Amino acid sequence: MNRNEIVEYYSNLVNEIEHEFDRTIYYVQTEENIVNKINSDRAKIISKIKEIEINKLKNLKDSESIYDGLFCFFILPKHSFALVSKMNDDRQHKSTKKLKTDYDIDQIEYKLKLEAKDEYFESRNQIGQLIVLNCTLNKKIVENLIDHCIDPDENQLNSFEDLVKVKVLTQLIESYRDEIIIDLTNKENNKIATLELKDDFQQLDENNLSFIETILNIQSVQELNLKNYFIYEIPNNFFRPFKYLTKLNLNAMIERLDSNVFNGLENLETLKVSNTLRLIAKSDALKELINLKKLILYKVDIKNLELLTNLQNLKKLVLKKCEIECFETKKFDGLKSLESLKLFENKFK
């Protein structure tokens, strides 16, 4: 990263924002009070960009990319005046015949005009939002975040870790939908109660989730939903960052669970495992889940029920549409706190 790269990036960013705000003012020019508010918001955004640019220039490091450390970018809402203009340009180039999509464009444009005039003070992200971060990203991640509400393409990402960054940051951005500047530099203020991680990556690494601790108030994450039909094994210590997690939904075709997969989940109270075929689990695979109160196994082909013996605080156990080898009721004898056992449509071998 060099000085010219920084100056060029932030100069282009300011020009883009000036253009988007001018475009919006064109649509609402009869509403002076809203125009004044739009210009005030424009000034705030540009001032923030200048502040970040000065900081980057003062702390210039050749070894870093422009996406490392303090950084900002601008995102458009799903329906914006910029997108309407682009669609209109595309329409004019392709055909003069009015198609159904043309009516859709007209409806979007009309809706935007009404919103810009009547709701700008309530929902101020009609033009776009400035996102401010202080972490390590790359160009593909930033491009995916910018395009996410329009045309996301997560297949362009290089790794599961990059996908985690996109998922987490997207959820954070969506939680601040009415802010013109979304400052995510203070992780204590970045809270997500339920985190959704769904992907098709085949390789997971023990450190794939380490980014979460650098961007999120980890105590806020109470539930994690992980869905992936292309992984067959979860690395040991994979969930370690989520030490405050109380609910985990694991929907994956995993074939084995080792002893240390759930390390760090001492506060987990509910675990649901779904769609796992030919699961071979170590007898102590759940030993770290000392506070687990509810376990749901759905469509799990399990070969070893002895993994339940360590669940001293388990109160509810649900087995539905599972295939279970060597099923014996005495396998439940170690569940001293069990209050409810529900069996539905299972096959016992």
pLDDT digits (tens, 9 = 90+) for 84-135: 554 454 545 555 444 444 545 455 554 555 555 555 545 555 688 999 999 9
pLDDT of residue 151: 47
Mean pLDDT of 27-39: 78
- Phi (first) and psi of residue 105, to 5 degrees: -60, -45
Mean pLDDT confidence for 253-277: 92
Q: Does an H or E element contain 319, and which?
A: strand 316-320
Task: Look up tokens 């940051």; give the residue.
Answer: 169
- Give the contacts of 259 (CB within 8 A, at least 6 positions apart): 236, 282, 284, 285, 287
Average pLDDT of 266-277? Answer: 94
Q: Cα–Cα distance between 140 and 65 in angstroms, integer?
A: 13
Are 65 and 80 contacting, i.e. CB atoms less than 8 angstroms apart?
Answer: no
**CATH architecture group of domain 222-349:** Alpha-Beta Horseshoe (3.80)
Q: Please, what is the angle between helix 3-27 and helix 32-58, to 10°?
A: 170
Cβ pair 132, 69 in contact under 8 A: no
Q: Which residues contact 152 (CB under 8 A, 6 or more apart)?
A: 144
Give ranges for CATH 3.80.10.10 in the chain.
222-349
Q: Report in angstroms the alpha-carbon separations of 119 from 24, 79, 134.
A: 13, 14, 31
For residue 78, the model assigns a pLDDT of 65
User: Quick check: 256 and 283 in contact, CB under 8 A?
Assistant: no
> Between β-strands 223-228 and 194-198, what pairing exists: parallel, antiparallel or unpaired?
parallel
For the chain, helix (H) and strand (E) counts, in that order, are 7, 13
Question: Taking Cα atoms as reference points, which of 40, 8, 27 lies closest to residue 108?
Answer: 27
Whether 317 contacts 342, CB under 8 Å:
yes
pLDDT at 118: 52
Using CA atoms of 199, 300, 250, 177 in order, give the dihedral in degrees to the nearest 10.
70
pLDDT at position 30: 61
Token code pair at residue 176:
């601040």
Report residue 158's pLDDT band, with 50, 70 and 90 as the boundaries: confident
pLDDT at position 251 over 70: yes
Q: Specify the DSSP element, H or E, that contains 252.
A: strand 247-252
Average pLDDT over residues 59-88: 75
Mean pLDDT of the chain, nearest integer: 84
H runs (alpha helix) in the chain: 3-27, 32-58, 81-94, 100-118, 139-147, 160-174, 211-215
In the predicted model, what is the mean pLDDT of residues 266-291?
91
Q: pTM of the prediction?
A: 0.82
Residue of 11 and 120 predicted with greater confidence: 11
Alpha-carbon gap, residue 318 to 295, rounded angstroms: 6
